[in-house]
Structure 1
Amino acid sequence: MTSRALWSAISQLHSGVYFAPDSKARYESVGLKGYWMGYFASRSAALGTPRPRLVVATFHGFAPRLVERALPDAWRLADRDRVLEQRYALARDLLEGVAEGATALAPRVRSVLAGVDWAGKPLAAAHAELPASDDPVIDFWQSVTALREYRGDCHVAVLTAAGLSGAAANALAESTGWLRHADQRTMRGWTEEEWAEAIAGLVTRGWLEPDGTATETGRAARAQLEDATDRVVAAGLDREAASRLVTLEAELVDLAGQWADDHPALAGRPLRSS
């Protein structure tokens, strides 16, 4: 089984595009308005020009109203292909310091995608279906992104099977220390009432105290959700893909470390409830 360190490295190499200081300006240059419109449009553009319900379903952790403020208006204001161009340009610029390593690893990471079972992983499959780039650095990032969303789709499946809503999943992750954000409720767009309802449900399960702090049972349950995600991830990789990932692990972890050294303000900041 591939390690958490590998998936953390993959997530880190992918997610800088969401926190880059100029991301808002880049997307505004093609017609979008504000940070969240740029985020939802750029991340969901692999799906085409999706409407809010599809993005709520595939992203899982965001309040529907936050998505609805951005979509479908984004597709009226900006061309989907130009949004993708800005997304790739952001990734290319952010990976410039590790471009040599990314170029060397690009074909090997791309080869992993051939051994992934995409069934039940819609967001990952959409990214894997995007045309490969002639630029090996962008191609590397595209492949890493498909793998990152693959684990994300697996995690969403585990969360929903456990009966956790987007708000509840975020509240549990925040209370058990799995997230780095100080106010996940506000960031994901949930109201105080929705957050309180989510916490109340987790209290009923015995996973949280009434004040929102995690119980021992809750911490164990959250760890079990990650373990279950690991199993679902492993089940969707054929033997060759799993073997290729194992051989890539040390190099990807090292590359992510180099990238983090170049971008300390952007490193280690996941956006999803994982």
Structure 2
Amino acid sequence: MSVPTPFWRSVEALNNVVYLVPEAARHYTSIGLKGSWMGYFASRSAPMGAASPELVVATFHGFAPHLVHRALPDAWGFASPARVHRARLELATGVLGRALTGEQVAPLADSLASIVEGLDLAGKPLAAAHASLEAPADDLGRFWLADAVVREFRGDCHVAVLVTHGLGGVDANVLNLAAGRTFPEQQALRGWSDDEWAAGHDRLRARGWLDDDGAITPLGADARDELEAATDRACLSAMSTDAVATAVEITDDLRAVARALRASLKT
């Protein structure tokens, strides 16, 4: 038995919405942070404590170091990690509450929490940091935080796979863009300079994964698919049998919730 791809995609969508809504920047400004990037890096790393920029570069992997250094460690002088984490939960429950009720998500929160209990978190720092947090009292918050642990679990596995295959942050982003798996603006969104981006292209061309025009080759497409498959295998190997079974069981319900949330954000 394996974990269905729609499960992981739904987990990702439900977790990431808290970083993508327009009000996120204003929300973090209200507690003293400066700018949307400071809010993003501080809020996602807050479970690790007053994380250094070096730690965040290492665990987030895909962002240009200078972008992280612009936000950290300054953020911790404006708001403590505990305050930032509370603000992120407040934002998450507010966004979820547009489309969902605590009663609706309570069973999924229970199921996700049971999945978390069945994860081997060795070598998965962001997931472990999130898992160490006290579960919120309300069901919307409990649901979102458990979902975040599972999302960071797969993210940690993916970073491990990328590093094992010798792909740095810029290389992984260049490959994703060439494969059509991310936004056209990904270079700017992740803070990479033109020279850094070009160097990433050069390294992927040397592997035979991109052609001279920067288009992905069949070899590169196969490699990109294998990176995802290897991530799935890494996740599966670190999940208990019960956790996998629960993920399979709740996939359709989780996908329905993710769709309802996306629809609410379009109105």
Taking structure 2 as the reference length, what is the TM-score of the superposition?
0.97
Residue 104 (structure 1) shift: 2.9
Amino acid at match of 2:55: L
Are residue 168 (structure 1) and residue 171 (structure 2) matched?
A: yes
* Amino acid aligned to 1:232: A
Aligned CA-pair RMSD: 1.0
Correspondence for 2:63: 62
Residue aligning to 1:217:
219
Alignment-derived partner of residue 52 in structure 2: 51
Post-superposition Cα deviations, 1:20-43, rounded to whole Å, max 9, x if no partner, equal 111101111111000000000000
Give the equivalent residue in structure 1 for 2:191.
189
Offset at residue 85 of structure 1 (A): 1.4
Is the 2:106–2:140 Cα contact (8 Å) retained in structure 1?
yes
Q: Secondary structure at the match of 1:261?
A: helix
Superposed, which structure 2 residues align to 1:50-199 within 5 Å? 50-96=51-97, 97-99=99-101, 100-179=103-182, 181-199=183-201
Q: Please show how residues 235-246 of structure 1 align to structure 2 within 5 Å.
A: 235-246=237-248
Query: Which runs of 4 or more aligned residues in structure 1 lie more than 2 Å from their structure 2 counterparts after TM superposition?
Result: none
Kept after mapping to 2: 8 A contact 1:199/1:210: no
Is 1:6 the counterpart of 2:14? The answer is no
The residue that corresponds to 1:272 in the other structure is none
Structure 2: where are the runs of 5+ without partners?
Answer: none
Q: Give the residue type in structure 1 aligned to 2:128.
A: A
After TM superposition, give the deviation of residue 246 of structure 1 in Å.
Answer: 1.2
1:212 aligned counterpart, secondary structure: coil
SS in 1 for 2:229: helix
TM-aligned CA deviation for residue 210 of structure 1: 2.3
1:101 CA drift (Å): 2.1
Deviation at 1:92, TM superposition (A): 0.4
Match of 2:264 among 262, 265, 268: 262
**CA displacement at 1:257 relative to structure 2:** 1.3
Match for 1:254: what amino acid? A
Work out the percentage of aligned pairs sharing the same amino acid: 44
**How many Å separate the matches in 1 of 2:81 and 2:218?**
46
Please tell me whether the aligned partners of residues 171 and 195 of structure 1 are also in contact (alpha carbons under 8 angstroms): yes
Q: Give how far 1:264 is off.
A: 3.4
Taking the aligned partners of 1:210 and 1:78, their CA distance within structure 2 comes to 47
Q: Distance in 2 between matches of 1:212 and 1:122?
A: 34
- 1:42 paired residue number: 43
SS at match of 1:134: coil
Match of 1:226 among 207, 228, 235: 228
Q: Structure 1, residues 177-209: CA drift from partner, whole Å, max 9, x if none? A: 111x11211110111001101100000000001
Cα pair 1:40 1:67 within 8 Å, conserved? yes
- CA distance in 2 between counterparts of 1:78 and 1:225 reads 37
Q: TM-score, normalised by structure 1?
A: 0.94
Structure 2 match to 1:268? none
AA of the residue aligned to 2:208: G
> 1:241 is matched by which residue type in structure 2?
A
**Which sections of structure 1, spanning at least 5 residues, go unmatched?**
266-274
Deviation at 1:58, TM superposition (A): 0.4
Confirm or deny: 8 A CA contact 1:124 1:150 kept in the other structure. Answer: yes
Secondary structure at the counterpart of residue 100 of structure 2: helix
Say which SS state the counterpart of residue 177 (structure 2) adopts. helix
Secondary structure, in 3 states, of the residue corresponding to 2:71? coil
Question: In structure 2, what residue type is equivalent to 1:151?
Answer: R
Aligned equivalents of 1:264 and 1:206: distance in 2?
A: 40
| CA-CA distance at 1:107 after TM superposition | 1.4
Q: How many angstroms apart in 2 are the aligned matches of 1:37 and 1:212?
A: 32
Secondary structure of 1:43's counterpart equals helix
Counterpart contact for 1:200–1:210, Cα < 8 Å: no
Structure 2: how far apart are the matches of 1:60 and 1:210?
A: 26
Cα pair 2:204 2:210 within 8 Å, conserved: yes
Alignment-derived partner of residue 269 in structure 1: none
